[in-house]
């Protein structure tokens, strides 16, 4: 239950950061981190055609844009 809530919180946070990006009010350093993750996920064998991570089931557009989660395969980590 706690894991599901943490996953939900991460997805909500990632979507919030995506909205900030679209509004042009995002943090430049965060954008660099998110872009680097996106490159890794785009090339990953666990990325589905629907742009989800097959390992954790999260939508990558949100997962790559939050500091509340890590790659389940250890390809990138959140700096906490
Ligand atoms: S989060 Fe990790 S395992 Fe999932 S698609 Fe991205 S790089 Fe691959």
Ligand 1 center from residue 25 Cα (angstroms): 26
Question: Which residue has a Cα nearest atom 7 of ligand 1?
Answer: 41
Mutate to test the pocket of ligand 1, among 35, 38, 53 (most ligand atoms within 8 A of CB): 53
| Dist CA 33 CA 8 (whole Å) | 21
In a domain, 68, yes or no: no
In a domain, 54, yes or no: yes
Whether residue 71 has its Cβ less than 6 Å from ligand 1: yes
In a domain, 46, yes or no: yes
For 22, 49, 76, the CA distances from 79, given in Å and listed in that order, are 23, 28, 10
Quote the number of domains for the chain.
Answer: 1
- For residue 47, what are the β-bridge partners? 53
- Give tens-digit pLDDT for 13-43: 999 999 999 999 999 999 999 999 999 999 9
In a domain, 48, yes or no: yes
- The pTM (predicted TM-score) of the whole model is 0.91
Query: In residues, how long is the chain?
Result: 80
Boundaries of domain holding 33: 2-63
């Amino acid at each position: 239950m706690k894991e599901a809530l943490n996953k939900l919180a991460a997805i909500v946070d990632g979507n919030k950061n995506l909205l900030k990006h679209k509004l042009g009010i995002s943090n430049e350093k965060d954008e660099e981190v998110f872009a680097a993750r996106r490159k890794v996920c785009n090339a990953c064998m666990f990325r589905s055609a629907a742009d989800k991570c097959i390992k954790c089931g999260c939508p990558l557009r949100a997962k790559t844009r939050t500091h509340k989660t890590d790659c389940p395969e250890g390809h990138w980590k959140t700096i906490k």
